[in-house]
Amino acid sequence: MTRPLTAAQRRMIEAADPGTGRLKGTEAQLTALVKRGLAFRHPRPPHDHFLTPAGHRAREAAQAQAEPSEPSEPSEPQAPASTGGVFAARAGGEPVPPAAEGPARTREVGSAWQGMLELRRMTNPDASTDRPCAWERTHLVQAAALALEAAGHRPAGAAEGEDGYRVRETPQPDAVAVHAPDAPTLRACVETLEASGWQAGEYTEPRTRRRYVLASPRRV
C-alpha cells in the first residue's frame, strides 16, 4: 500500500510552478519525491526537479480536496492504479470501477496527457513535445493507451461485446499492437498515434486475417 504524502511533501507539490512543474525544497525532500515517482531530476545543469505525470496528478488531487464541494457531488474518484499506485491509462478490456467513468475520468486523462507533454518537454534533448520521451519508450502500452484515451477514443470494456480499442504488447521490444472493432476506428487510431509522435501502420494477422495497427515511438 502506498504511503500517504507528508504535510511537507503536499506543500512542495502544491507550490510547484503551475506551468513547468518545477519544484523547490531541500535535497532530501526532493529525493524523497523522486523515489516515490512524483518528481524527476533534470539531467542537465542546474539539475532542477520537476513533477512527473504522477506528481501532477497528486497536485490536482490535493487541489480538489481543498476546494469545497456541493453536497450532491460525489467525492473525486481515485485514478485506476498500476502496480506503482499511479495513474494508468486504459489499454482496453480491463475492469474499471464505475466511479472512474464520466467527466471525472475525462479530467484525469486530460491532466495526465498534459503532464506527459511537459515530461517530453523537460526530458527530450531538444525540448520537443511532438515525439515520445524515454519514459514512454519503457512503458509502451501505457503511453500508447494514454495518447488514444486523451484523444477521445473509447477503450474496450471488460464485458463481452463491449467494443473499443485494445493496446497490447508484442514480441517486438519497441512496438505495441492496437486492435479496434472496425476499419474506420482502426484508421482513426493510426491518425491519433501519428499525431502524438508514433509511427503506426496497419497489418493483417496471418491466422485470423483481422487488421491491426503496429505502433512504435518515433525517434526523430
Nearest C-alpha neighbor of 89 from the set 200, 184, 174, 167 = 167
pLDDT tens digits, one per residue of 41-50: 877 777 888 8
Cell numbers found for residue 127: 525540448
- Cell 502524438 belongs to 196
* Cα 149 to Cα 14, 17, 112, distances in angstroms: 26, 26, 10
More confident residue, 69 or 79: 69
Q: Which of 64-68, 86-90, 213-217 has the highest mean pLDDT?
A: 213-217
- Return contacts of 74-80, CB within 8 angstroms, 24+ apart: 74/99, 76/104, 77/104, 77/105, 79/108, 79/112
Q: Where are the beta strands (DSSP E) in the chain?
A: 22-23, 39-41, 49-51, 166-169, 176-179, 198-204, 211-217
Which residue is it, cell 480499442? 165
Q: What is the pLDDT of residues 141-186, one digit of tens each?
A: 999 999 999 999 999 987 766 689 999 999 998 999 999 999 999 9
Alpha carbon distances (Å) from 13 to 10, 18, 62: 5, 10, 9
- What integer pLDDT is reported at residue 60 of this predicted model? 80
Going edge to edge, which strands form the sheet with 166-169? 166-169, 176-179, 211-217, 198-204
Question: DSSP assignment, residue 11?
Answer: H
Q: Are 82 and 91 in contact (CB under 8 A)?
A: no
**What pLDDT, on the 0 to 100 scale, is given for residue 220?**
82
This prediction has a pTM of 0.64
**DSSP string of 50-71, one letter each residue:** EE-HHHHHHHHHHHHHHS---T
Task: Say which range, 70-79, 90-99, 109-118, has the weakest mean pLDDT.
Answer: 70-79
Closest to 90 (Cα-Cα) out of 108, 74, 72? 108
Rounded CA gap, 130 and 80, in Å? 26
- Across the chain, mean pLDDT equals 82
Residue 130 has pLDDT above 50, yes or no: yes
Is 99's pLDDT higher than 70? no
Distances (CA, A) of 119 to 34, 52, 140: 14, 7, 15
Angle subtended by helix axes 7-14 and 27-35, to nearest 10: 90
Is 16 in contact with 22 (CB distance < 8 Å)?
Answer: yes
